Structure 1
Amino acid sequence: MATPAHDHGPVLDRDGVRLTVDDAIATVTLTNPAKRNVQGPALWRALIEAGRLLPGSVRIVVLRAEGKSFSAGLDRKAFTPEGFDGELSFLSLAREADAELDATIALYQGAFTWWRRSDIVSIAAVQGHAIGAGFQLALACDLRVVAEDAQFAMRETSLGLVPDLTGTHPLVGLVGYARALEICLTGRFVPAEEAVTTGLANVAVPADQLDGAVQDLAAAVLSAPRDAVVETKALLQGARDRDYDAQRAAERAAQARRLRDLAGLGE
């Protein structure tokens, strides 16, 4: 994938993560293609920092990756006694008290949660393999545009683990319980065509058209007024947790706010 042009230098560039901002569009790039953008605590901390550094002007966040693979998932160093430099190995984490272990996993999850903030729309551009933590990082975004060579796989269960980086909720919401269960328990690859058919991805394009397709989608979202986008996203995000009448009420309240704002009567 070609690197998109930006007007400004990186806001953040460390531990396999680069953040650049071009007016209303921020781009978060995974920058360790030699290791297929494997993930670990340092990368997760950098992703958390990228979310904190987003200027208020940003409306779209594009998540992309250098190289042939989006992300091959967790760095297997996590399972060695030595672990990562300066980090506890997963084997050492297992010996921590319940509260400390829970807090550590919650910290790691923070790298995957901010992508669904109400004030932004996040778009993952996925090529090649998106495995385990890579799959969950793509699921953390609002929308997914995939190359025709994209392949998703949830391998945690086959390793004796569970997907714990916030991927289970969006996966069930996108493809349904039965298919999500089958994908997680078998660890099989989900190709791009199936991803689009099942709703896991919005569209699949040839690999050399991936950046262009993402840019076109971003431009379409930016063409709508920001406040209307924010209200619509909030309505749709909350729809699964509301019954029909509660959703109708939420629509009315949101529309009242929009009408008053357009009439110059907003707070």
Structure 2
Amino acid sequence: MFTGMTDLGLRLTVDGPVARVVLDRPEVRNAQTPAMWRALAEFGAALPSEVRVIVVSGEGPSFSAGLDRRLIMGETIEGEEPLLALGARPASEVHAAIAGFQEGFSWLRRPEFVSIAAVQGHAIGAGFQLALACDLRVVATDAKFSMREPALGLVPDLGGTQPLVQLVGYSRALEICTTSRWVEAGEAREFGLANIVVPAEELAGTVKDLSEALLGPLPGAIRETKALLLGAADASYEEQLKAEREAQARRLTELLGSLG
């Protein structure tokens, strides 16, 4: 078992086929910083090949209140410059900086594992987008989502816009983002944003049961299935049929080889 504790407010562990990311700044509702995003990207890049499930959660009563408010308000904290300071840089530097931030989220969609967000309490802004970066969301009944970036004059830029549209549709995604309103657990389940909604005291056990269920099928079958589903929306029907044929051929070859 690998256990990593950082001074950035993250607990990162790998225990056989299950890796865990715990946001551990409960005193600020697990508010995030760019340094945390860089650490997440590094963790994702270094995962051993046997990892098949990633569980992302928050310590305390909230999943994450989003980007640390002090950075939004113009303060410098822990060596991180205020968010608006990016606006003074050349566009190429701004793009490169944001691309680095996005890497802390985008690795959760890789096909070799299934990622689960265990969401309780607030999931705001970057917290909402971190939950959206995961493949599945198990949500406590007290969970509340809000995409606050537009209310601050910004846009969601951590990879959350595409999965949100895929889950709830364009017009509902537009309404959720542009009003920055709260989406509570029951509505999240109705929209398809939440896969499972349970009482807060059942959240950990439900995530554990789901993780164990995901470990049942062979790893190659999960990997290929996830890759097929991720690409389905952008493929024509004929392209998707071809992708299915190719994936199944690889599975048959691998299964036959395992018998030898």
On whether the aligned pair clears a TM of 0.5, the verdict is yes
Residue 229 of structure 1 pairs with residue 201 of structure 2:
no
Match in the other structure for 1:107: 100
Residue 251 of structure 1 pairs with residue 258 of structure 2:
no
Residue 134 of structure 1 pairs with residue 131 of structure 2:
no
Match in the other structure for 1:5: none
Helix, strand or coil at the partner of 1:94 = helix
Residue 45 of structure 1 pairs with residue 38 of structure 2:
yes
Which of 150, 159, 166 aligns to 2:159? It is 166
Residue 94 of structure 1 pairs with residue 87 of structure 2:
yes
Deviation for aligned residue 1:265: 8.2
Helix, strand or coil at the partner of 2:88 = coil
Which of 34, 49, 57 aligns to 1:56? It is 49
Match in the other structure for 1:68: 61
Which of 80, 84, 92 aligns to 2:77? It is 84
Match in the other structure for 1:157: 150
| Distance change (3 Å), C-alpha of 1:265 and 1:124 | closer
Moved more, 251-260 or 146-155: 251-260
Deviation for aligned residue 1:262: 1.6
Q: Conserved in 1, the CA contact under 8 Å of 2:2 and 2:15?
A: no
Aligned equivalents of 1:150, 1:80: Cα separation in 2: 25
Q: Conserved in 2, the CA contact under 8 Å of 1:83 and 1:90?
A: no
Aligned equivalents of 1:173, 1:181: Cα separation in 2: 12
Deviation for aligned residue 1:12: 4.2
Which of 28, 35, 58 aligns to 1:35? It is 28
Helix, strand or coil at the partner of 2:64 = coil
Residue 144 of structure 1 pairs with residue 171 of structure 2:
no
Deviation for aligned residue 1:14: 3.0
Q: Structure 1 segments of 4 or more deviating over 2 A? A: 11-14, 79-85
Q: Normalised by the size of structure 1, how large is the TM-score?
A: 0.94
Which of 192, 196, 213 aligns to 1:220? It is 213
Q: Conserved in 2, the CA contact under 8 Å of 1:28 and 1:50?
A: no
| Distance change (3 Å), C-alpha of 1:81 and 1:135 | closer
Please, which runs of 5 or more residues in structure 1 have no aligned partner?
Answer: 1-7
Deviation for aligned residue 1:9: 5.3
Moved more, 241-250 or 85-94: 85-94
Code of the aligned partner of 2:54: V
**Superposed CA RMSD:** 1.4
Match in the other structure for 2:186: 193
Aligned residues: 259
Which of 235, 244, 257 aligns to 1:242? It is 235
Aligned equivalents of 1:82, 1:135: Cα separation in 2: 23
Aligned equivalents of 2:80, 2:24: Cα separation in 1: 21
Aligned equivalents of 2:49, 2:151: Cα separation in 1: 41
Helix, strand or coil at the partner of 2:129 = helix
The percent identity for this pair of structures is 57
